[in-house]
Structure 1
Amino acid sequence: MLRRRPSLLIRPELDDEPLHTTLTELRPAQQLHGLGAGRTRPLWEPVADLLRATGRDWDRRVHRVSVLAQSLPAVVSQRWAADRPGDGDALVLRAFVEATRAPAEGHAAVRRAEQTCLLAAGACPEDPAPWLALLTLMYSCAVPVKDAVPVWTEAVNRAPWHRTAYHRLLRYLSPRAHGTVPDMMDFAWQAAARAPHGSPVALLPVAARVELTAHRQGESPLAAALGASGTWNEPRARQEIDVALNGWFHAAAASHAEAVTDLNVLAFALTRAHLPDEAAPVFRRIGRHMTRHPWDLLPEPERTFVYWRDRLTERRRT
């Protein structure tokens, strides 16, 4: 009898099961349409419980709040902020919700979102999350990089080597956003060179090269198709991959909140650079947890991911 392979898990919560449980509890159709009518406890209470349990794990806190802000109906954060004015967790979630939605709602909404971010920062003075919410708002509003860097600095002063903080500024510096290729690559190389052993920031140059790939494909899809491997055949690319492997993947470091994302970036890079032996253990660690990006830079992303994962992991078993 043929054994069916388990389906891929492609979800914003990644492998965070407590976050997945909270999202599942708040997603039933009757709650989205009835706005929690008939509940015996406040609509926002599962979110409050989750963030309380997260505590001062700033890495996981930012991941959870970012996903909650994008995945839940806005009424959850609105009601929590109304029921518990001054609650730091409620303000942080509200800051992320407003930072995500305000740019599409006009100037007044942007100003309100900025004030909410600053209120959250005042309520949670040791927390980097409000500053990353403000950075997200500035990114969406195309604020110049020179004005965004001090906000990023506020975040990393509170949580040095915060993985998501570095990736948010990398996105800001991308030529697809508000920076240039030299700005982006220099930032990534310098950050990785200074990062402590075991820090996921060691992967930043590889993430920058993925962003460079996306930029080149956006500029000239035909040229990208004809010379897609060129970016990964550059001598510096192999050096960047080695830094990521030795400085993070092979280090005996504790897993971080967005490790699944980083593993997918690393696996993508290794397949593009034609390094199957190095890619096999990365795919084994990924398992079912595919992320859409960066595989969406290739035709048939899910099929391509499964092809490489199954081919490499099966080959290593034989």
Structure 2
Amino acid sequence: MAFLSSRRKRARLAPELDDQDLGRLLKTLLATTRTGTIATTDLCVAQISRLLDQDPGDWDRRTHRIGVLADFLAHSHLPRTWAARDPRNPSALALHAWTQVASARSQGHLEDRADVIESCLRAAELAPEDPTPWVALLGAARLERWEQPQVFGVWNEVLARDRWNREAYLSMLTYLTPEEAGSRMQVLEFVDGLCARMPANAPCAATELTAQVFQYHSVLDRGGFEALVARNHWSQAMATQALDRVVHTWVQPGFLRHARALADLNLLAYALMAADRRREAHAVIEALGGVVTAWPWRTGGDPLTEFDQAQRRASAGM
């Protein structure tokens, strides 16, 4: 991953992160989909297909691109239209299924469960080496509250194709939290098992720190006195160790090379500021070049406002 200039830039939400080709596509889709004409649909489909056909075998990049496109098109007819027109195109089927999962997150259930599952399985059959249909199915399984053996079965299908798939690990981490279908003990076991065998710069390297942020947020959500002293979470041994393990390596140019590295750096900057480690946070924020992710900054309010405030506090701490 190529880090952006350390010179301060205006903070901006950029779901594409540093994927310039994806960013250009999102701008084109925003400008052209408003017309709703058949010609426009054909043009958009061609552009999406061309992007998803780039870098064959780079499953990390493909997962990132399909996930961002699914969120962007969650309320668009375009993925469904593409899948209907080209039912033997695995990219069309995977994007259609993932878009339905993205749309269902706000509703808590899938509108057409059978269609999503069928699209995932057909895409997996057409492109057996591709993990993205299984990642989409993992999201659907969580929404549908499948039993743990079934969910783990889908997760293992992803890992069989992409050993360190970031989206799959973070999805399973969320599934195993007490807020969804697991327990604090299951989260600890899951993270410990991963850390024991994962390369330090794997695409899923942020799983441990994400678990700590989840726990921090659970304390904040309790409100009252516990929320007032929630910062104490970051002085506990496990939280401190999670930060110490990554704070000096992640900011090194070229260390993190996966597609969502800037999202992981946003997470690290947020956690360091929550822990009042401002000097270290300053270096991370500078490395971001103004690229902001909605989560976890939105936890405190508007993400850009929260990021700007964190940036000023970190600079003052230098």
**Residues 2-13 of structure 1 mapped to structure 2, 5 A cutoff:** 6-13=9-16
How large is the Cα RMSD of the aligned pairs?
A: 2.5
- In structure 2, the partner of 1:172 is 175
Counterpart of 1:197 in structure 2: which amino acid? A
Counterpart of 1:225 in structure 2: which amino acid? A
CA distance change for structure 1 residues 201 and 83 in 2, over 3 Å: closer, same or farther? closer
**Residues 170-249 of structure 1 mapped to structure 2, 5 A cutoff:** 170-218=173-221, 220-245=222-247, 248-249=250-251
After superposition, give the CA deviation of every residue in 1:256-280 in whole Å (9 maximum; x if it has no partner). 1111211111111112222223222
- In structure 1, the partner of 2:37 is 36
- In structure 2, the partner of 1:294 is 296
- In structure 2, the partner of 1:64 is 65
Whether 1:308 and 2:310 are equivalent positions in the alignment is: yes
Q: Give the whole-Å Cα distance in 2 for the aligned partners of 1:298 and 1:22.
A: 30
What is the deviation of 1:298? 2.8
Moved more, 196-205 or 110-119: 196-205
Whether 1:129 and 2:132 are equivalent positions in the alignment is: yes
After superposition, give the CA deviation of every residue in 1:82-131 in whole Å (9 maximum; x if it has no partner). 33220121111122123334685977711221111111111110111011
What is the deviation of 1:53? 1.3
What is the deviation of 1:15? 2.6
Unaligned runs of 5+ in 2: 1-7
Q: Give the whole-Å Cα distance in 2 for the aligned partners of 1:105 and 1:198.
A: 33
Q: Give the whole-Å Cα distance in 2 for the aligned partners of 1:279 and 1:193.
A: 26
Q: Counterpart of 1:229 in 2: which secondary structure?
A: helix
Counterpart of 1:168 in structure 2: which amino acid? S
Counterpart of 1:146 in structure 2: which amino acid? P
What is the deviation of 1:25? 1.1
- In structure 2, the partner of 1:264 is 266
- In structure 2, the partner of 1:94 is 96
TM-score, scaled relative to structure 2 = 0.87
Moved more, 161-170 or 91-100: 91-100
- Do the aligned partners of 1:36 and 1:43 also contact (CA within 8 Å) in 2? no
CA distance change for structure 1 residues 182 and 303 in 2, over 3 Å: closer, same or farther? same
Counterpart of 1:13 in structure 2: which amino acid? E
Of all paired residues, the percent bearing the same amino acid is 31
How many residue pairs get matched? Answer: 309
- Do the aligned partners of 1:99 and 1:110 also contact (CA within 8 Å) in 2? no
What is the deviation of 1:37? 4.1
CA distance change for structure 1 residues 280 and 200 in 2, over 3 Å: closer, same or farther? farther
What is the deviation of 1:74? 3.3
Q: Counterpart of 1:195 in 2: which secondary structure?
A: coil
Moved more, 131-140 or 220-229: 220-229
What is the deviation of 1:39? 4.2
Counterpart of 1:170 in structure 2: which amino acid? L
Structure with greater proportional helix content: 1
What is the deviation of 1:286? 1.2
Whether 1:148 and 2:172 are equivalent positions in the alignment is: no
Moved more, 192-201 or 34-43: 34-43
Q: Give the whole-Å Cα distance in 1 for the aligned partners of 2:153 and 2:196.
A: 21
Moved more, 293-302 or 148-157: 293-302
Unaligned runs of 5+ in 1: none
- Do the aligned partners of 1:59 and 1:163 also contact (CA within 8 Å) in 2? yes
After superposition, give the CA deviation of every residue in 1:25-79 in whole Å (9 maximum; x if it has no partner). 1122x633x3234449543111001101142211111111111112125322222
Counterpart of 1:230 in structure 2: which amino acid? N
What is the deviation of 1:292? 2.2
CA distance change for structure 1 residues 40 and 312 in 2, over 3 Å: closer, same or farther? closer
CA distance change for structure 1 residues 250 and 43 in 2, over 3 Å: closer, same or farther? closer
Q: Give the whole-Å Cα distance in 2 for the aligned partners of 1:84 and 1:182.
A: 45
- In structure 1, the partner of 2:3 is none
After superposition, give the CA deviation of every residue in 1:140-185 in whole Å (9 maximum; x if it has no partner). 1222333201100110111111222211111111222211112112
